[in-house]
């Protein structure tokens, strides 16, 4: 079977939504959980558009909420596939908000969602290989590779670190905790 390739641009999706009072948290700002839901939706759309398959969320990298979003602001999410594996894709997402009266735009957060393509039997399916056609896409691809390597190293460290040794337990003192085992 011939290898299928697609440009990263084939995965680009933009979603804009006006923030309403029903989207707020207890402090009157837009609820972070609502923004996460929108991020998951656009990650699904981007990955599904690229792969031509139903996709599920496998993991979400760190989401730092950089600026609060106010009621009445227009939130825009932009997503594209930055990296592909066999059945997985890393979708980069950038969230901005715009005060539609003043035109001021704020970067609210960015994150990376790992999505996996599935068939009707819920089995992983192979996704197209990536065609990189700009230096920005090269940067995004290499950053995804670097994040993947760091994640594997962190997971390996967590699997091999013995937290029950006397040294590890004594090391907790540096963090100001009291042990009562």
Per residue in 58-81, pLDDT (tens digit) is 999 989 999 999 999 999 999 999
The tokens of 62 are what?
Answer: 């760190």
CATH topology of domain 5-134: Thiol Ester Dehydrase; Chain A (3.10.129)
Weakest mean pLDDT among 32-46, 121-135, 157-171:
157-171
DSSP 53-112: SEEEEEEE------S---TTPEEEEEEEEEEE-SSEEEEEEEEEEE-TTT--EEEEEEEE
Give CA–CA dist 23/37, Å, rounded: 11
Per-residue pLDDT, averaged over 123-144, amounts to: 97
The pLDDT of residue 163: 87
pTM above 0.85, yes or no: yes
**What's the confidence (pLDDT) of residue 68?**
97
pLDDT class for 1, splitting at 50, 70, 90?
A: low
């Amino acid at each position: 079977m011939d290898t299928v390739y697609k440009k990263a641009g084939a995965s680009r999706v933009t979603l804009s939504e006006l923030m309403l009072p029903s989207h707020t948290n207890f402090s009157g700002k837009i609820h972070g959980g609502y923004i996460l839901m929108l991020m998951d939706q656009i990650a699904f759309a981007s990955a599904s558009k690229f792969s031509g398959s139903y996709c599920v969320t496998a993991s979400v990298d760190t989401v730092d909420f950089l600026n609060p979003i106010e009621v009445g602001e227009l939130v825009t999410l932009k997503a594209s596939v930055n990296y592909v594996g066999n059945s997985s894709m890393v979708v980069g997402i950038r969230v901005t908000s715009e005060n539609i009266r003043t035109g001021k735009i704020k970067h609210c957060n960015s994150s990376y969602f790992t999505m996996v393509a599935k068939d009707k039997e819920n089995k992983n399916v192979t996704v197209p290989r990536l065609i990189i056609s700009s230096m920005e896409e090269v940067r995004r691809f290499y950053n995804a590779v670097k994040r993947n390597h760091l994640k594997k190293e962190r997971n390996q460290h967590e699997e091999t670190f013995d937290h029950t040794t006397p040294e590890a337990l004594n090391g907790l003192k540096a963090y100001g905790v009291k042990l009562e085992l």
